[in-house]
Amino acid sequence: MAGYVVVGTQWGDEGKGKVVDLLGSDVNMVVRFQGGNNAGHTVVVNGEKTVLHLLPSGILNTNALCVIGPGVVVNPFVLFSEIETLEKRGLTCGHLRISGRAHLIMPYHIRIDELEEMRAGDRKIGTTKNGIGPCYADKYSRIGFRVSELASFDSFCEKLKSTLAFKNEIIAKVYGGTPFDYEEMKEQFRTVREKLLPMITDAVDLVNNALDEDQVVLFEGAQANMLDINYGTYPYVTSSSPTAAGVCEGAGVSPHKLQHIIGIAKAYSTRVGEGPFVTEQINETGEKLRELGAEYGATTGRPRRCGWLDLPVVRQAVRINGLTDIALTKLDILSEFDEIPVCIGYNISGKFRDSIPASLEDYYIAEPVYKTMPGWKTDISGVRTFDELPEACRNYVLFIEEYLKTPISLVSVGPERHANIIRRSLI
């Protein structure tokens, strides 16, 4: 039995795609279990960059079966445009399977996401406007469409007609937006279903059989712990559980099957969208981090908010996910700083606290308590062994490891697949 999980420990964009791609050659299967095309996972191989949104980041390796699991929300139009982009480059996606239980992101989910963000004004969440929240809301209201419903097109259309009539009322009468034409949408789905049907599978059987046969299965998280619907900075979160527990729910596997839970942590912090961010640097330091780290959203192109590493945030991810390993990424980006502050706790109304407050109000007024570490001011992007790193850099890594009480098994020092220092083999 070998279930591996990769999850984000901060606010997303930690480098999950890079690590999944790296491990891809050693695994039999890569499974997405939550989220949708709100994700933007970057993989760089021999200087060529690929950004994956809905497709698992194992897709570049044709030996591993790639599965879009039951807990994912699938925009079928985005799916085929992603597949086409890869095929134009001579890559194949014949090793992709999609769970019939996954929910469909419908065109009206996207429009409602946009309209709701507009309506909310100052209180907007800053979503990716890909219809993620409205799709999960319909799933839990039990009025969503599952991928498998496309199999019987007549019943699909019947349900579409009545659901669309209701959604159009909301779009037009509540938001003053433009409603959809049923016949047009029906034809769009008629075309897309032809391509989708052959990929549909029972992912619960597929994944569990693989685990029972001792194959290596890697579960690829999107988003991250601080965007978790339960434990993130609600309401400034996404609408799924991007955690190890989310794997059990979203892929239909038992917690007993998950042996290795790898948390990806960026050596500093970034966040896209609204919500509290205690160590944010709205100044030249933040701009320097953004420019050096090329911190612009892989999905929306928005500039990412940047700040120092927040260790209570990462420790929350250690606890909630039960991380067995950490991959620390983008350490190379810190090479140009004289001093590197690391947040070790918060001052909230005069009281020290080193965990995440449940109250958003408390989190907004939290002030960071920093330990300032000396910088190393040396390019480390070509270093491949821990001992070769400058002492100050090693101390930065060891300090984080000690705080988190979790081994930092991999240190990533560049976007390329093999730009890593491997301290302990992950697979």
If binding is defined by CB under 6 A, does position 44 make contact with ligand GDP? yes
Q: Are 201 and 100 spatial neighbours (Cβ–Cβ below 8 Å)?
A: yes
If binding is defined by CB under 6 A, does position 110 make contact with ligand IMO? no
Paired tokens of 183: 């016949």
Q: Which of residues 279-298 bind Mg ion (CB under 5 A)?
A: 298
Residue 95, CB-side half-sphere exposure with 13 Å CA sphere: 18
Paired tokens of 148: 């498998």
DSSP string, 51-120: EESSS-TTTT-TTSEEEE-TT-EE-HHHHHHHHHHHHHTT---TTEEEETTSEEPPHHHHHHHHHHHHHH
Q: Is 41 left (phi over 0), alpha (psi -120 to 50) or beta?
A: beta
Q: Are 229 and 38 spatial neighbours (Cβ–Cβ below 8 Å)?
A: no
State which of residues 13, 14, 113, 228 lies at the interface with Mg ion (CB under 5 A).
13
Q: Which of residues 359-418 bind ligand GDP (CB under 6 A)?
A: 412-415
* The residue to which tokens 């100044």 are assigned: 283
Q: How far is the CB of 54 from ligand IMO (least distance, A)?
A: 11
Give the integer Cα–Cα distance in Å for 200 and 191. Answer: 16
Give the integer Cα–Cα distance in Å for 324 and 334. Answer: 25
**Binding partner at 133 among ligand IMO, ligand GDP, Mg ion, none, C-beta below 5 to 8 Å by kind:** ligand IMO
Q: How far is the CB of 176 from ligand GDP (least distance, A)?
A: 34
Binding mask 128-157 for ligand IMO (x = CB under 6 A): x-x-xx------------------------
Report which secondary-structure segment, H or E, holds 166: helix 153-169
State which of residues 34, 37, 38, 281 lies at the interface with ligand IMO (CB under 6 A).
38
Binding mask 185-214 for ligand IMO (x = CB under 6 A): ------------------------------
Catalytic residues: 13, 41
Q: Which residues of 240-260 are buried (b: 16+ CB within 10 A; e: fewer)?
A: bbbbbbbbbbbbbbeeebbeb
Of the listed pieces 33-41, 140-148, 153-161, 402-410, which binds Mg ion according to CB under 5 A? 33-41
Q: How far is the CB of 239 from ligand IMO (least distance, A)?
A: 6
Of the listed pieces 88-96, 141-149, 200-208, 327-335, which binds ligand GDP according to CB under 6 A? 327-335
If binding is defined by CB under 6 A, does position 312 make contact with ligand IMO? no
Q: How far is the CB of 284 from Mg ion (least distance, A)?
A: 25
Q: Which of residues 263-322 bind ligand GDP (CB under 6 A)?
A: 294, 298
DSSP string, 346-385: EEETTEEE-S--S-HHHHHH-EEEEEEEE---S--TT--S
**Binding partner at 333 among ligand GDP, Mg ion, ligand IMO, none, C-beta below 5 to 8 Å by kind:** ligand GDP
Of the listed pieces 229-237, 279-287, 324-332, 369-377, which binds ligand GDP according to CB under 6 A? 324-332
Q: Which residues bind ligand GDP (CB under 6 A)?
A: 8, 12-18, 40-42, 44, 294, 298, 329-330, 332-333, 412-415
Q: Which residues bind Mg ion (CB under 5 A)?
A: 13, 40, 298
